[in-house]
Every structure is written in structure tokens, then in C-alpha cells.
């Protein structure tokens, strides 16, 4: 019988561009084993100071729209006090205040309970660090 709390870490390569990476299948694959048909909560956490987790529609342009809005809100220029890395990298450190580094989602009968068009996504605007970790934890 599965334990009440199970966790794993995904390694995700986001490349050298700003990205929205859909993690929904990875989350459900984890739940297939960890939840084993039970109800509970899935927590998705990104232990990075320059990335976040969003629940949004993908594939219809919403992911690109999110990146465009973030670019408008947080331009990659020299206005930031945090100045190491590529130009405008300071904005990447502000990102988690807008797109938080975590999401907690309901699991019913071992299945992630998302709306029809919702996906769980890693949002990464930091072109300097393409190697990300995402912790998935099930409590049920």
C-alpha cells in the first residue's frame, strides 16, 4: 500500500529561451503510482529563485501570451539592481512574485482534477540556467 506522503524530483531542461513547459503528463504519471487511486493533494514546487509554476491552457497560444505579458511587465533591461548573468536577469528574480514557485492541486481517485483546458506548467524566463528541478509531492 502506498504511503500517505510520497515525493519525487523531475529534471527538466528548458533550453536557452524563455519557456512554458507542460508538466501535466509528468504529474499524472507520478500520481498513477503515488496516489494509487486515492484522493489527496499534489504539490508542485520549483526550488529555484527564477522560475514558477502556473496552471493555464497550453497549445492555443496562451503559453506564448503569458511570456509576452511577462516580458511587458518585466522587461529584460538594465533597470534592476540584481545584475549578474545575462542582461535583464534581475527580472528573472522578480518572476516568482508574479508566477509563484508552487501550486497545490486536488487529486480525486488518483487523477489530477484540472479543468478541461488547464495544464500544469513550469514557467522559466531565465536563459542562464536551462537545468531545472521540479518536486512533485502527493499527500493523501
Are 101 and 52 contacting, i.e. CB atoms less than 8 angstroms apart?
Answer: yes
Query: Which stretches within the chain are classed as H helix?
Result: 24-34, 62-73, 90-98
5-139: CATH superfamily: YjbQ-like (2.60.120.460)
| Residue 34 CB contacts under 8 Å (≥ 6 apart), including other chains | 2, 6, 8, 136, 138
| Per-domain residue ranges of the chain | 5-139
| Residue in the block written with cell 486536488 | 106
| Residue in the block written with cell 509528468 | 26
Q: Is the pTM of this model over 0.85?
A: yes
Cα 122 to Cα 20: distance, rounded to the nearest angstrom: 6
Indicate the length of the chain as a whole number: 140
Q: What is the pLDDT along the chain (140 residues), one digit of tens a residue?
A: 567 999 999 999 998 899 999 999 999 999 999 999 999 999 999 999 999 999 999 989 999 999 999 999 999 898 988 888 888 889 999 999 999 999 999 999 999 999 999 999 999 999 899 999 999 999 99
Amino acid at each position: 500500500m502506498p504511503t500517505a506522503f510520497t515525493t519525487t524530483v523531475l529534471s527538466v531542461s528548458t533550453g536557452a529561451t524563455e519557456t512554458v513547459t507542460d508538466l501535466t503528463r509528468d504529474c499524472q504519471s507520478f500520481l498513477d503510482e503515488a496516489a494509487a487511486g486515492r484522493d489527496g493533494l499534489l504539490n508542485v514546487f520549483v526550488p529555484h529563485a527564477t522560475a514558477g509554476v502556473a496552471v493555464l491552457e497550453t497549445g492555443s497560444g496562451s503559453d506564448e501570451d503569458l511570456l509576452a505579458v511577462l516580458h511587458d511587465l518585466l522587461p529584460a533591461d538594465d533597470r534592476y539592481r540584481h545584475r549578474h548573468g545575462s542582461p535583464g536577469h534581475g527580472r528573472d528574480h522578480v518572476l516568482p512574485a508574479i508566477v509563484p514557485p508552487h501550486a497545490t492541486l486536488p487529486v480525486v481517485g488518483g487523477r489530477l482534477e484540472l479543468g478541461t483546458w488547464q495544464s500544469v506548467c513550469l514557467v522559466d524566463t531565465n536563459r542562464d540556467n536551462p537545468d531545472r528541478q521540479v518536486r512533485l509531492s502527493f499527500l493523501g
